[in-house]
Amino acid sequence: MKFTVKQIAQILEGEIQGDESIEIYNLAKIDEDAKPGSISFLSNPKYESFLYLTNAEAIVVNQGFKPKKKIRATLILVKDAYTAFSKLLDEYAKRLHPPKTGIEAPVFTSKSAVWGDNFYLGAFSYLGENVQIGKNVQIYPQCHIGDNVVIGDNTTLYAGVKVYHNCVIGSHCTLHAGVVIGSDGFGFAPQPDGTYKNIPQIGNVIIEDHVNIGANTVIDRATFGSAILKQGAKLDNLIQIGHNVEIGENTVMSAQVGVSGSTKIGKNCQIGGQTGFAGHIKIADGVRIAGQSGIISSIKQEGLTLFGSPAFHHNEFMKSFVLFKKFPEIAKRLEQLEKASFSSKKGTD
């Protein structure tokens, strides 16, 4: 598969500086791995040195970029190089792996299930009663779509996704392999004899438009009402979301985050890997949380950066960490002071 620089510039709505007729065969990083016939991008200034050494024949850069040395490659100037290159990757992927259509065999589809144009259903999949599926939906092999599930247009479910009954998935969503939507929340009532009685979870999960969920992530259904992932949320692999949780618009989570039941996380939050949230708390909009943090109480102030377990303000954490590293030295000095004080008292006696 090949593009000319001119074709790529048209896709990206960019301005060309150099030879527009160059043919591009693949996409590559800007470092020494790039080969002739490749296109790359530069968005972070700290990688600018590679621009003068790379073998890539075309580079996507931000408008207004002024090189410090002569560049062999042709430049494509765009508003945002990172976003533009993502768009190019998307276009390349569509051509490399075009969407499938049709229903493979064997599958089970209930008589009441309906779907739109250009639908693909992979082998060994199951569509329950009253399932409603939009157009251009891709459901790969071994997926289970329970009764009364609704799936919007242009959504993709990769192999092995399980969507329990009554759940709703919006348009332009991507659920990667092994995702489970709508499993029971962790609700058990302790009994006098020491056993636990299961509490039925009769709510559902609602996933709004443009949500991405990584492989083997689990979203529990609500006990009542709905657990909600709002528009534009992005979840990494291996994340656990408890019952009744709400995640705000455009919030992103790295792998192995755990969110306990009934917690509400605001919009535009950034949450590092292995962060744990206690239940029944609220997180304000725009909060950033470093990896492996523990959030045990509500965060009411917007835009904070937090670190630690239990987490507190990042600046205070770093100051405390400096002292923590000095504890052995401080302890030694205290011991010396105590010895000196004891010797002084003994001499006085």
Distance CA 248, CA 179 (A): 20
Distance CA 337, CA 46 (A): 48
Q: What is each CA distance from 37 to 2, 4, 28, 54, 294, in whole angstroms?
A: 9, 10, 10, 12, 47
- Evaluate the CA torsion angle 91, 95, 100, 101 in order and state its sign: positive
Contact present, 34 and 28 (Cβ < 8 Å) = yes
Tokens of 66: 């002024």
CB atoms within 10 A of CB 321: 12
Contact present, 99 and 79 (Cβ < 8 Å) = no
Distance CA 90, CA 101 (A): 19
Active-site residue (options: 243, 280, 313, 314): 243
Tokens of 282: 């609220």
Q: What is each CA distance from 39 to 3, 49, 55, 112, in whole angstroms?
A: 10, 16, 9, 48
Residues 6+ away with beta carbon under 8 Å from 251 = 230, 233, 234, 265, 266, 267, 268, 269, 270, 271
To the query of whether residue 144 is one of the catalytic residues in this protein, the response is: no
Contact present, 83 and 63 (Cβ < 8 Å) = no
Contact present, 213 and 231 (Cβ < 8 Å) = no
Known catalytic residues are: 243
